[in-house]
Amino acid sequence: MADKKELAFKAKDKKSPIGADIDLNVFKSEIRETSSESDIKQIAVEERRIMENVGVNPEEKKTAGIYVQIDQNRVFYNSLTQKAEILPIKEAIEKYEWLKDYYWNAVNVDADKYTSAVELELHNGYFIRARRGQRIREPVQACLMLKTGNIKQNIHNIIIVEENAELHLVTGCVSPNILEPALHLGITEFYVKKNAKLTFTMIHRWGKRTLVRPRSAAIVEEGGVFINNYIILSDVGDLQTYPTVYLKGENSKAELYSVIYGTGKSIYDVGGRIILEAEGAKGKIVSRTIGADESIIYARGHLIGKRSGCRAHLECNGLLLSDKSRLTAIPELEAETTGVELSHEATIGKIEQEQLTYLMSRGLSEEEANSLIVRGFMTINVPDLPPTLQKTVDDAIRLTKLSGF
């Protein structure tokens, strides 16, 4: 671990190649002592309401467990099944010596100043693992809440789905509408073992001035399936993320879906990268971006085929609702050997008058027609998602107050 600290220290001023540089020094640390408890009833009513905004509901009967972290140090967690283990990462590191093999393994500790900051000052995060052979259909829920202004929240999460296991995790990251800036740094490392399956659904809802720099990566072994589903339908100050999936095992598969509804003067820079390193590996990246108000959105996608016999497709569709918004799609395909099949499709369009005319002729008002088109555009049916989770996603989209026309 000492090595990691050293590497982190050296990288503490290292700028990220993508996204505006953030001065980390302006954000404070909390003074509060670390607390962790399993009685989720202790979560205040007002906080529960905030959590529900991102699809996390601790009352939900059909859940396999929950992890809630508020600001830096208040943690609640509860595993409701023996099939999965949920722990705050700080406790997990103490408990399992072997976890060091996973800690900073998928993500490099010295990737940039943000990874560095999380290593140098860790607040907490979750460790979730689905035990070998256990297929857990009920979702595990996690919520990372950033409630206090002017602070930073440094998170490190590790998810391990052991051989032949199946896990569905939904994570809501949320800020109530605080006016002060705040910073969320989140490292997430996913490990999908042989023939295991993980669906990871993340819903973000931030404050107007929240700065967000998640850094995540996944390693998928033979026959493993990783499905990532990312949704942000709120304002944010500036968000930049570019998760990477390494398909290391033969016939492994990754699918990354994202839906971004840009509002206000927010900046969203969201990418997805799949590195296909084994024969029979399959990848898919689908993004839907909607630019309203004065939002700026970058949709990046990168497929790298390293072994013959792998296949991947990239699809970036953008819908521009406002003349003051900017959408940029940046698809990249890279083949390092023959026998690699990569393709992409990128479009940016607007709502066509023809579509409005059509829907209005069925009795919808212009506003209803617009919102139907936009909501339809945002709808992605993610394969393998349990119905309860698909509903969570659909509800998030349905309840979004659309702006921009």
Partner 1 sequence: MSGENILSLIDLHVSADSTPILKGVSINFEKNKVHAIVGPNGSGKSTIAKAIMGFPDYKVTRGDILYKGESILDKTITERARMGIALAFQNPPVIKGVKLDKFICKICRDCQRASDNRSGRHLGEADKCTPDLTDGFRKLLIENLKDRDINDGFSGGEIRRSELFQVISLKPEVMILDEPDSGLDYDSLKLVGRTLKEIRDAGKTTMIIITHSRYILEYLEADKVFIIDKGRKVFDGDKSILPQLEEFGYKEFLNRNKLR
Per CB under 8 A, residues contacting partner 1 are 352-355, 357-366, 372-373, 375-380, 394, 398
CA distances, 249 to each of 41, 276, 338 (Å) = 42, 9, 19
- Give rounded-to-5 percent helix, strand, coil for the chain: 20, 40, 40
In the complex, least distance from residue 372 CB atom to partner 1, rounded to whole angstroms: 6
CB within 8 A of 108, min separation 6: which ones?
115
Q: Which is nearer to partner 1, 17 or 363 (CB)?
A: 363
Based on its alpha-carbon atoms, the radius of gyration of the chain, rounded to whole angstroms, reads: 20
In the complex, least distance from residue 381 CB atom to partner 1, rounded to whole angstroms: 9
Q: Which is nearer to partner 1, 343 or 365 (CB)?
A: 365
Q: Which is nearer to partner 1, 247 or 290 (CB)?
A: 290
Q: Is 294 left (phi over 0), alpha (psi -120 to 50) or beta?
A: alpha
In the complex, least distance from residue 140 CB atom to partner 1, rounded to whole angstroms: 26
Distance CA 173, CA 171 (A): 6
Query: How many residues belong to the chain?
Result: 405
Q: Which is nearer to partner 1, 135 or 398 (CB)?
A: 398
Q: Which is nearer to partner 1, 310 or 393 (CB)?
A: 393
Residue 59 in tokens: 């009352």
Q: What's the start-to-end Cα distance of the chain, in Å? A: 52
Q: Which is nearer to partner 1, 348 or 364 (CB)?
A: 364
In the complex, least distance from residue 352 CB atom to partner 1, rounded to whole angstroms: 6
- Which amino acid is residue 7, in one-letter code? L
Collapsed DSSP state (helix, strand, coil) of residue 74: strand
Residue 392 in tokens: 């969570």
In the complex, least distance from residue 357 CB atom to partner 1, rounded to whole angstroms: 6
Distance CA 203, CA 398 (A): 13
DSSP 150: T
Q: Which is nearer to partner 1, 40 or 372 (CB)?
A: 372
In the complex, least distance from residue 398 CB atom to partner 1, rounded to whole angstroms: 6
Residue 380 in tokens: 């992605």
Q: Quick count: other Cβ atoms within 10 Å of Cβ 135?
A: 13
Q: Which is nearer to partner 1, 146 or 397 (CB)?
A: 397
In the complex, least distance from residue 362 CB atom to partner 1, rounded to whole angstroms: 4
Torsion angle (degrees, nearest 10) of CA 243, 280, 253, 132: -110
Sheet of 35-37: strand order equals: 35-37, 74-79, 65-70, 140-145, 166-174, 197-205, 225-232, 253-262, 282-291, 310-320, 340-349
In the complex, least distance from residue 257 CB atom to partner 1, rounded to whole angstroms: 13
In the complex, least distance from residue 364 CB atom to partner 1, rounded to whole angstroms: 7
Q: Which is nearer to partner 1, 335 or 351 (CB)?
A: 351
Q: Which is nearer to partner 1, 333 or 356 (CB)?
A: 356
- Which amino acid is residue 73, in one-letter code? N
In the complex, least distance from residue 373 CB atom to partner 1, rounded to whole angstroms: 6
Please state whether beta strands 253-262 and 225-232 pair in parallel, antiparallel, or not at all (unpaired).
Answer: parallel
How many alpha carbons lie under 13 Å from residue 77 in its C-beta half-sphere?
25
